[in-house]
Structure 1
Amino acid sequence: MIIGVGAGVCLVVSLLLPPLLRPLLRRVGVMDVPNGRSSHTTPTLRGAGLAALLALAVTFGVVLLLVDPRVESGAILLVLLVSLAAGVLGLCEDVWGVPVAIRAAIQLALGLGGALAAASLFGLDWWWVALFAVGIAGYINVANFMDGINGISGLHGGVVGGALAVAGAFTGEVWLAVAGVVIAAAFVGFLPWNFVRSGMFLGDVGSYLLGASIAITMTVAFARGVPLLALVAPISIYLVDAGVTLLRRVLRGEKWYEAHRSHVYQQLTGGGRPHAPVAIVVAVFSALAAAAGLLSLAGPQGGLIGGALVIVVALVYLGLPRLVGTEAAEVVALPESELPRNAVMDGPLRWAVVGASGFIGSAVVRALEAEGADVVEVKAPRLRVEGGASVPELLALAEKSELATKELADQLRGVDVVVNAAGLATPDASDAAPLFGANALLPVVLLTAAGLAGAMRVIHLSSAAVQGRTPQLDETATFRPFSAYSRSKALGEMALFARVEDASDGRSPELVVLRATSVQGVGRETTRQLRRLARSPLSSVAAPGDRPTVVSSVDGLVSFIRFVGSHISSVPTVVLQPWEGMTTAEVLHAAGGRAPRMLPKPLCRFFVSSGFLLATIVRPLQGGVRRVELMWFGQEQDAAWARRVGAEGVSFVVEAFQHGQDKLE
C-alpha cells in the first residue's frame, strides 16, 4: 500500500505543479535562450524541476509520517536530505548562477556527507566512502550534462526509478522500492510539460535533483547489500555516453568543460530526428541495460551474464550514430576565396596539371590539349606526414617544406590555372604517412607555391567521401570522415581553408575545392571491380533502385574541371561534381549488362546496420560496408553552384563502362 500511496501522491503533485510555478519562473526570469550548441530553437522557461523537487519532498514526507515498520526511515530520510540539498543548489544556479568552483565544492560535500552517513548508518565499508562521495557528485553532473533534449531526463528518471523499485522488491528492501517509485513518479509526472507547445525545462534544479536522488539511493542500497551491477546497470547508458564523450574531447585537445553537441543523443538529434523519439531510444537502451543488471540478483552466474549483456547494450548504443549515419560532423567556416585583384580569366589560359601521369590528371591533360590549350605537366613531390597531424601542424610542416615549395613554384611560373590531380586514391588505405602526405600536406604546399608563382586559380581535387554518410552531399565545410582515406582528404581541405584565411598579402590565388564523387573510366581498377560485381550474383540494389548513385565518369569530371578553371568570375571555395543522372539500378545495369537483383529495403538496411555495428569492433570493415551501402542506397547530391551556373552536363557513365570493354575484362 505504501508504495502505491507514494507513487500516486508524487505523480499528482509533479503533474499539477508546473503551470502553477510558471508565473514565478517568469518573474525571476529563468529563461533558457538557445545558442549554437543548443538542441532547442526558441527561448524556454527553465527551473520547472522545482515541481519535481516539491513532489519528491512532499511524498517522502508522507511516507515518513506513515511510519510503516517495513520501511527503513533512516534510508528514506538520507535520500530526501541529499536530494533536496542538490536540488536547492541547482535552483540557485538557475536563478542567480553559482561560480563553478563553489558549485563543485558543494556537490563534493554533498557526496561526502551522503557516503559518510551511509557508512555510519548502514555499514558501508569505509574504504568505499571516497568512491561513492565522488560518484554522487559525479552523477549529479552526468545527469546535468545529459539533460539536453525534451523528455530525456523525465524518461531516465522513470526507467532508473522503476529499476530500483524492482531491485527493492526482489531483495526485500521495501524502502528501496518506495524510493524507486517516488523518483520515477516525480520525473514521469513532469514529462507532459516537456512536450507541450508552451513547454518548460527541468533546469539545473531538476537535473541536479535527478542525479543526486539516483546516486544517493544507489549508495544506500549498496550499503544494505544490493548487488552493485543491479544498481549501476540502469545508469550505464548515461555513464558511457558522458564518459566516452568526455574522453574523446580530452584526447582531441578540446575544451572539455565547454558546452558542446558531441553526446550520442545529440548526434542522433543532429541528424534531423525529433527529440521525443531520440529520448525514447535512450530510455529503451537504459531499460535493456537495467533488465540485464537485474540478472545479478539471481547469483554470481547471473551477474556474469548480466554484466556481459550490459556491455553489449552499451556498445550498440555508442555505435548508433554510425549505424544510422549521424556521426558528429566537424564543421569549419569556409574562407572567402576570390580571384586575385586585377585577374582576368577570359582569353587563352595556361594550365598546369599536378599529378599529370595519374588516372584523372592524364585525362585532364588529354582533354585540354585536344582543345589546343597550353598545358604544363607537373610531377608532384613525395611528402610524408603522420595521420594524427592537426591542421596547425600541417601548416607548420608546409612552412618548413621550402625546397618542395620552391621547386613547384618554379614549374608554375606563368601559369593561370593549377589543377591538383595528385594524391593517393586508396579508399582502403591505413593511416600511413604517404597517404596523409599526398592528400593533406601536398595541397597546402601547392597552394603556397601557386601563390608565389602568380597563378590566379587553384583547383584542388578532393573527394565527396569527406562527408561520409551524410544524407545529402553538398558544398558546405561539413566533415564526417569514416576511413583513413576520407580523413586524409578532409584534413587536406581544412588545412587549405586555414591557409586561405591566414593569407594577407592579397596575392594568393583563388582556391576552389572540387569534390569528386566515385569516378569511373577505362583503365581504372575500381571500374574493373565494379564491372565484375555488376556481372556477379551479388549485383543488387535496395528496391526499387531509383536512388541517385554517386558513380560518375572521368569524362564528366574532366568537363566540369575545364568549366570551373575557365569560369570568368569567382567560383565558390567548395563545389561538388554534378550528378550525372544515373540511379543505383541503372549504373549496375550499365556496368554489368543486366538488371541487378531487387532486395527488400528493410533487409538491406538491417544488413548495413549490422555491418557498421561489427565495424565498430573491426574498423577495417567500414570501407567495405560503406561501399555496399552506396551500391544499395546511393546518396543524394546537391551540386548547387553547378546547377546555378548551368554546368550540369550530360552523363558519360554508360560510356565509361561500354567504351573499351575489352580493356576492362
Structure 2
Amino acid sequence: MTRIALFGATGFIGAACAAALFGAGHEVLPRPARRLWVDGEALAHEPRRAYRPHLARLAAELDGVEAVVNAAGVAVSAARPSPGLVGANAAWPLLLADACEQAAVPRLVHVSTAAVQGRADRLDESLRYAPVNPYARSKTLGEQLLRDAAAAGRVAVTLYRPPSVHGPGRRMTTAFAAFCQRWPLVTCGDGDQPVPVALIGNVGAAVAAILAARSAPLVVSHPYEGHTVRTLYETFAPGRPLCPLPTRAVRLLLRAAEPTGQWLPPLSAVCRRAELLLFGQGQESGWLDARSFRLPLGQPAWDEVAAAAPHRPPPGDRPTP
C-alpha cells in the first residue's frame, strides 16, 4: 500500500483517480490545492516568486507521503487568459514539484491534457507542443516548468495526457449528447477517422497503472479507446445519418475563423472541437500500450454514459461538438 496525496480529489477527474487508487489498495489522502494568481510573463521570468509563501506549509502536508497526484487545475477549454488560469495550470504544478522535493516525496503524477499538442497530425508522448487556445497554452507552460524541474533531478515527474474526457454529469458530455440529437451529424470523409476521447473511469485506471509501475517516463499518453467519428456519433445518436461535407471548403472556413479565435477563446474552443469531429486525429501507441495495459471500460460503458446523458444542454450552454 502506498500513501498518495491527491490534489483535486473532489473534481471530475480527481474523484475518478481517488476511486481507482483506493481500489488498487492505496491509502488516498485528499489535499486542498492552493489558488494562485500569476501573470504568465512574470511566471516565465521568476517562476517561484508567486508561491514562495505557500511552500513550507504545503511541504509539511506531504510529510510521510510516498507519491503525489495532481488532478487540480482549471479545465475549461474556452477559458480566457487570466492570472487565475496561469496560476492553476502552470504555477500550481511547479509549486507541487518544489514541495515534493522539500518533503522528499519521490514521485509526482500531473494530470495534463492532450490539448497541449493541439492540431498535431498524431498525438504522441513527445515534448512537441502546438496549443491553440489560452487553456492549452497554460497547460503547456505547466508541462514545461515540470519538465525543467524533472531535468534538475528534484522529483520524478510523469505528465499524463488524457484527451477529451466524458462521463456521467460532465457538462461537455451533456452538451455533446444534445448536439448529436438536435443538429446534423457532419464530418469530412467517410467518418472512419480516429478521434481521441476517454471515459472517466479509464482515466482513473490509467493514473493507477502509472503509479503501479516502479517508474514511468516523463510523458504518458492515454491509450486510444478505439472510437472513430462515426462510432462516437452512433454511440450518442444511434440511427441518425452522417452527412459528409467538402473537406477543402471546411478547412478554408475554419482557417478564416482562426484570427477571431485568437482573441475570442470560446470560438477557438468550438472550432477545435469541430475539427476533431470533421477530420479526426490519430495517435501513436504509448508507454501504457507497451506495458499491455487494458482499459477496464469499453463500448458498453460508453453506451451507458450516452444513455444517461440528458439530451439537452445545461442552462447557459449551447450544444456544440
Fold similarity call, TM over 0.5 = yes
Kindly provide the CA deviation profile for residues 447-479 of structure 1, in whole angstroms up to 9, marking residues without a partner as x.
111122222211001111111101011111111
Number of residue pairs aligned between Structure 1 and Structure 2? 308
Runs of 4+ aligned structure 1 residues displaced above 6 Å come to none
Structure 2 residue aligned with 1:486:
136
Structure 2 residue aligned with 1:558:
204
After TM superposition, the structure 1 = structure 2 runs for residues 116-515 of structure 1, keeping only pairs within 5 Å, are 348-389=1-42, 391-394=44-47, 396-397=48-49, 401-503=51-153, 508-515=154-161
How far did 1:658 drift?
1.6
How far did 1:484 drift?
0.3
Structure 2 residue aligned with 1:628:
274
* Inter-partner Cα distance in structure 1 for 2:24 and 2:289: 24
Identity across matched positions, percent: 31
How far did 1:541 drift?
2.3
How far did 1:592 drift?
2.4
C-alpha root-mean-square deviation of aligned residues, in Å?
A: 2.0
* Inter-partner Cα distance in structure 1 for 2:231 and 2:165: 16
Structure whose residues are more often strand by fraction: 2
Q: Contact between 2:178 and 2:310, CA under 8 Å: does it hold in 1?
A: no
How far did 1:653 drift?
5.7
Rate the CA distance shift 1:350–1:594 in 2: closer, same or farther, 3 A.
farther
Structure 2 residue aligned with 1:642:
288
SS at match of 1:375: strand
* Inter-partner Cα distance in structure 1 for 2:75 and 2:7: 15
Structure 1 residue aligned with 2:219:
574
- Shifted more, 417-426 versus 405-414: the winner is 405-414
* Inter-partner Cα distance in structure 1 for 2:156 and 2:35: 24
Compare relative contact order (CA 8 Å, sep 6+) and give the higher one, 1 or 2. 2
After TM superposition, the structure 1 = structure 2 runs for residues 58-77 of structure 1, keeping only pairs within 5 Å, are none
Kindly provide the CA deviation profile for residues 239-262 of structure 1, in whole angstroms up to 9, marking residues without a partner as x.
xxxxxxxxxxxxxxxxxxxxxxxx
Q: Contact between 1:543 and 1:598, CA under 8 Å: does it hold in 2?
A: no
How far did 1:662 drift?
4.2
* Inter-partner Cα distance in structure 1 for 2:108 and 2:217: 12
User: Unaligned stretches of 5+ in structure 1?
Assistant: 1-347
Rate the CA distance shift 1:654–1:610 in 2: closer, same or farther, 3 A.
farther
SS at match of 1:478: coil
Q: 1:594 and 2:244 equivalent?
A: no
2:193 is matched by which residue type in structure 1? Answer: R
- What is the TM-score of this pair, normalised by structure 2? 0.89
How far did 1:626 drift?
1.2
* Inter-partner Cα distance in structure 2 for 1:415 and 1:488: 28
2:23 is matched by which residue type in structure 1? Answer: A
Structure whose residues are more often helix by fraction: 1
Q: Contact between 1:471 and 1:635, CA under 8 Å: does it hold in 2?
A: yes
Higher-Rg structure is: 1
Q: 1:532 and 2:178 equivalent?
A: yes
User: Unaligned stretches of 5+ in structure 2?
Assistant: 312-321
Query: Please, which of 253, 256, 275 is the counterpart of residue 610 of structure 1?
Result: 253
- What is the TM-score of this pair, normalised by structure 1? 0.44
* Inter-partner Cα distance in structure 1 for 2:235 and 2:26: 33
Query: Please, which of 658, 662, 665 is the counterpart of residue 304 of structure 2?
Result: 658
* Inter-partner Cα distance in structure 2 for 1:385 and 1:617: 26
